[in-house]
Structure formats: structure tokens, C-alpha cells
Amino acid sequence: MEKLRRLVIQIASTPPSQRFSALSPLQLSLIPLLSIASSIYNLALLIRHRLFYLGIFHKRRLPVPVFSVGNLTWGGNGKTPMVEFVARWLIDSGISPLILTRGYGGGDEAKMLQRHLQGTSAKVGVGANRAATAASFLERHGYLNFSDSTCSTKAFLSKKARTDSFSDKIGVAILDDGMQHLQLWRDLEILMVNGMMPWGNLELIPLGPLREPLAALGRADVVVIHHADLVAEQNIEAIESTVWKVSDSIPIFLTQMAPSYFLKAGNTSCVLSLRAVYDMIVLCVSAIGFPESFVQTILKMGPKHVDRLDFSDHHLFQAKDITVIRRRLKELESAYGMQPIVVVTEKDYDRAPDVLNHVNPYQVLVLCSSMQILPREGRTEDNFKKFLRERLKSLSDSKIT
């Protein structure tokens, strides 16, 4: 199954004009079947949206504003880092956020968010039925009543309001991977785009990576191009052009994942600098949506050699995977005459912290990174936060009036 998923992913990332030169005969034989499946998926998508439009399926509105962070393609778009970024901005503004996540693939993203936001006023709710999860948290912790004039954004978006008066009551719900979760009404739609592979082959899944047609860009309130530091300026301009063809009023921001430090697997209290991999033999092991960005980040740190083992997104490491990893490590040690280091992402480590301990005596390091907004033509981190602040204020003011 893992091999088949890799074949399909390669098909999805290959432009139609390059199929005959880049794909194997087996992959080419899969295209007609995948095309039929994509047509069926598209029909189901149209019916689903129509049912919501006609009111046959209902969207539930929460008593607090809902900020959705989503995407149009599978994996590697920076949704979870953006969720954390928005949550921290809300916390710094004196607002307690509730993060609603499905907990897919062993809940690795939820575990990472819980660890990063531990000790803050943020809550992380995990469950496929996010409306039910939200109702449970709102009942348990209470929520800010925006219809009460004493609870306007002027009261808690000011620096003077950083008190405990609203610390536990939920003020905003953040919908992780919310673009296609139509069951909940959202007040702000943040759409993440992978700058290194924005639209793939422009086909719907499973033939391509698109979860919806590009026309869905029109539902976004703001578009964020992720991994913008790893792509050329002309690629950024091409993405902007595609977005603005759908709606020329959508603001666009750029982000990157900035590596901060390494943690030592098995002893996460041990923090190492980014120099830990300099002039070393490194094996990048990952099961994330877009491993290329992870590998490119490690390459910038100056290792002697970088090898990689990529697994499908959210893959749960098993004993047979550890055997493959250990075999590759022994090959690298034999080839270079020095012991290699395994580097994984935080998401991979949180998914399977114990399994990765079985590669002894080889060291496993966990790369920790944070999202940063890159300045571009006046669009800075401060501008992005101002955009969020103004949107939240307009929402609360409309509820008050």
C-alpha cells in the first residue's frame, strides 16, 4: 500500500506535459482509473456543496467567532503551524482559543499543539465531530458573550486587558484543516498554499492533489503562501496571479518555517543548537505531507551528506520500518566511515516517540521550527496581525450591534 501511495503522489505532482517522460509504465496505466475516480469525487463534491447551499445540510454556528485554517491540496501547506501562530496571537491578545482538530493519523498534530501550548489558556479539542467537540468545551469552560457590550474587543484586544478576567473562557475557535469542513460556520477563512508545489497537476484527488477546484480560492479571506523562502520569485508571482484571477481583492502573505533547535529523542529536555548536524552524515526520516521542504531545511545547515527516507503523511512507524531505517544507517556508516545521525520532524516524533528509540546506537534528533511571516511589499507580520485584529473587532462589533 505504501508503494502504491508513492506512485500516486508522483502522478499527482507531475504536470500532464511531462507524464510520458517522468512516469513509469505502471503509473501511466493507473491514470485512466484515477481519472474516473477523480470524476466521481468531483460529482460528490458538487452534490455536497449543493446540499449545503439549498439548506438540506445545515451549517452549525458557534456562539464564538470561528477562524478556519485550511488548504486546497493534500499535505505540506503549513496548516498546523498557522493554527499555532493564530492561537499564540489570540493568547497574547488576552483571548483563550479553542483549537478544533480531527486528530487524523494518530493525532500527531494535536499532540504537538498540546505540547507547544502547554501552560497557556489555549484548549485543544480532538474529534471528527468538531461541532460536538466544541459544544463540550464551551459547556465546560464557558465562552465570551460578544452580544454583551462589556465584552467587546476593545475590552480584551488592548494591552491593558492582559488580565485573568477572560483567561479561561473561550473567545475564538480555530478550525484546523477547516476549508472542506462545511458543517461549521466560519467567520474567517485562512487558506494555506504550498509554495513548492501549489496545485500539482491541477487535477482533483486521487489523480491530482486538489481537494477542490481552484475556484474555491474565492471563499478565502486571506491566502498564505507557505515555504516561500524555498521558491523563486517568479513562482511566488505565478501563485499570486492564479489567486488574483479568482479574486483580485484577496490579501496574500508569505511564510516560512524557521528552524530553532534540535531536541534529543528520548530526552526532550536536552536542547541542541542547529550546529549539531554541521559536517555530519544525516538521514532525514519523515512521514509528512511534503518532505522536500524538511530536507531542504536540513541541507542549509551544512551537513557533510544528507540521505532521506520518505513515508506517506501520518504513517505510523512499525518494526519493519525501523529495520529499513537501521539498514540505511549501516550503509551510510560503511560508505562514509562515521556514524550518521537520524533527524525527524516534531510531528513524526510526537506520533511515535517510543518506536524511534529502537534505532540505537544511532542518535535521533528532532527538528523544532516556528512559522514566520516574510515581509513582502508592505505585507509584514504586523500587517497580518492587524488584519486578524480588525476582522475580530468587526465580528464582535456586529454581534454587539
Task: Round to whole Å and give the CA distance between 32 and 78.
Answer: 31
Reported confidence tier of residue 213, pLDDT bands at 50, 70, 90: very high
Reference 290, options 78, 102, 110; nearest CA is: 78
Above pLDDT 70, what percent of the chain?
92
Mean pLDDT across 333-351: 94
Mean pLDDT across 45-69: 94
> CATH homologous superfamily for 66-251+379-400?
P-loop containing nucleotide triphosphate hydrolases (3.40.50.300)
Is 256 within 8 Å of 228 (Cβ atoms)?
A: yes
Half-sphere CA count of 196, side-chain side, radius 13 A: 21
Q: Which residue has the higher pLDDT, 331 or 9?
A: 331
Question: Phi and psi (nearest 5°) for 292?
Answer: -60, -40
* Range 258-371: architecture per CATH: 3-Layer(aba) Sandwich (3.40)
Give the global pTM: 0.90
Q: What is the pLDDT of residue 106?
A: 60
Mean pLDDT across 231-247: 96
If phi > 0 it is left, if psi is from -120 to 50 it is alpha, else beta; for residue 80 that is alpha
Is 165 within 8 Å of 139 (Cβ atoms)?
A: no
Q: What is the pLDDT of residue 151?
A: 53
Cβ neighbors of 263 (< 8 A, separation 6 or more) are 270, 271, 272, 349, 365, 366, 368
The rounded mean pLDDT for the chain is 90
Q: What is the pLDDT of residue 160?
A: 46
Return the C-alpha cell found at 187: 467567520
152-200: pLDDT as tens digits: 455 555 544 444 445 689 999 999 999 999 999 999 999 999 999 999 9
Q: What is the pLDDT of residue 353?
A: 82
Q: What is the pLDDT of residue 185?
A: 94
292-337: pLDDT as tens digits: 999 999 999 999 999 999 988 888 888 899 999 999 999 999 999 9
Half-sphere CA count of 237, side-chain side, radius 13 A: 3
Task: Round to whole Å and give the CA distance between 53 and 253.
Answer: 30
Among 46-60, 146-160, 349-363, the minimum mean pLDDT is found in 146-160
